[in-house]
Amino acid sequence: MIACFTTYMSIYPNERIYTVLLSRVESAGLLRIPKDMKSVLFGGQTSKPPTIDAIKIDASSLTAYTGQFTSKTIPIEQTLDIVDGKLVMRWGVGFRAF
């Protein structure tokens, strides 16, 4: 195990395959890894993320959510801006993807 990583390991001795997956993302989606890893290696259906229906919010209401934010658990600055009437988030200082 490595600190700050979620680790998933699997062994398939008959196929002589050993997998190690490290993730810095903690999410319920990680619970799908064992089945999905097996599907990728040996064929099969991988899981799909849930479908999320977007909600329509007036762009003028979004300005209350803009700004720069940090937290104790995520020390990298996050900036929320409005681009094309949508609230977007970017990581770090000086990076502008839009």
The count of C-alpha atoms lying within 13 angstroms of the C-alpha of 41, restricted to the half-sphere facing its C-beta, is 15
**Is 14 domain-assigned?**
yes
Residue 97 has pLDDT above 60, yes or no: no
Q: Work out the percent of the chain whose per-residue pLDDT is above 70.
A: 91
**Is 97 domain-assigned?**
no
9, 33 in Cβ contact below 8 A? no
**Is 15 domain-assigned?**
yes
pLDDT for the residue 1: 53
**Is 98 domain-assigned?**
no
Domain range for 86: 59-91
Name the residue with higher pLDDT: 45 or 29: 45
pLDDT in tens, 14-31: 999 999 988 887 777 778
What pTM does this model have?
0.46
Confidence of residue 93 (pLDDT cuts 50, 70, 90): low
**Is 53 domain-assigned?**
no
37 and 10 share a domain?
yes
CA distance linking residue 83 with residue 98, whole number of Å? 8
**Is 47 domain-assigned?**
no
38 and 11 share a domain?
yes
Confidence of residue 58 (pLDDT cuts 50, 70, 90): confident
